[in-house]
Amino acid sequence: MFCHPLPLPHSRWWSRITTCTTGIWAIWNIVKRARSTRWPCANGTRRALGLVWAAFYTYFIRYRWPKNTVKFGVTGVLLHNLSIIVYLGLLYVLFGWTGIAVWFCASLLGGMIGVFLVYLQHNFEDTYWDRRPNLEPQRAALQGSSCLDFGWFFDLIVASITLHDIHHYNARIPSYRLRKCHHSLPGDVAPRRIKFPEAVAALRLKLWDEDRQRLVPFPSSRYP
């Protein structure tokens, strides 16, 4: 008499479950290693994982029901979320789970780029920060928001949102007018343009120095 082992299910669902489980296990191990100071790339890995989580939370969770939804319109938010569900259903009918996976990865990548841009548009070394009643809204709009100079093609892709100073000064200016308006600013109020290397370096700026009036990184040592 032979004893046959319990057969494992050979289905697409089982494959997806095992793949997902393996992926979660791998990410968890990366996080555990990143938390260890013995890993040379710990800081960089934490930033990368933080960017991924910020993008996922912002675009897949928080923006499904923004904090000001009740004030500005519940109907619009519900219709928007419903349209996403219908769109995902259409993707599944036409392309199956492959289409859903491609949409998710593309949305997550777009979310990471969005979080990266929004952070840099308000957090750079010589930004403008102040408190009421001394806060100047016009100065905050032009000097507290950055101009990211990543080239005209990048501006075209993101609808010139990199010219964030003009966008904050007057949100009614359409995207195709932002570049012209920015270059029309007088020299005494025109913000300094930030190139890509400086933008990446600005990710480590976390503290506002009241005396120097600029953003600074955390001290390299906890003790003097």
Amino acid 25: pLDDT: 52
Report, as an integer, the average pLDDT of 184-204: 78
Rounded to a whole number, what is the distance in angstroms from the first to the last CA of the chain? 76
Amino acid 84: pLDDT: 92
Q: Please indicate, yes or no, whether residues 107 and 64 belong to a single structural domain of this protein.
A: yes
The number of folded domains in the chain is 2
Q: Which residue has the higher pLDDT, 132 or 11?
A: 132
Q: Please indicate, yes or no, whether residues 154 and 111 belong to a single structural domain of this protein.
A: no
Q: Please indicate, yes or no, whether residues 142 and 99 belong to a single structural domain of this protein.
A: no
Domain boundary among 71, 92, 120: 120
In which domain, by residue range, is 73 found? Answer: 43-120
What's the whole-number average pLDDT of the chain?
Answer: 76
Q: Is the pLDDT of residue 114 over 60?
A: yes
Choose the weakest-confidence range: 48-52, 58-62, 124-128. Answer: 48-52
Structure tokens at 98: 């492959």
Assigned domain for 23 exists: no
Q: Counting Cβ atoms within 10 Å, is residue 190 exposed (0-12), middle (13-18) or buried (19+)?
A: middle
Q: Please indicate, yes or no, whether residues 159 and 198 belong to a single structural domain of this protein.
A: yes
- pLDDT bracket for residue 223 (50, 70, 90): very low
Its pTM stands at 0.63
- What percent of the chain is modeled with pLDDT above 90? 11
Q: Which residue has the higher pLDDT, 163 or 20?
A: 163
Sign of CA dihedral 60, 61, 67, 70: positive
Assigned domain for 176 exists: yes
- Cβ-based neighbours of 151, under 8 Å, separated by 6 or more: none
Assigned domain for 18 exists: no
Residues listed for the chain: 224
Q: Please indicate, yes or no, whether residues 72 and 97 belong to a single structural domain of this protein.
A: yes
Assigned domain for 157 exists: yes
- pLDDT bracket for residue 79 (50, 70, 90): very high
Assigned domain for 19 exists: no
Assigned domain for 160 exists: yes
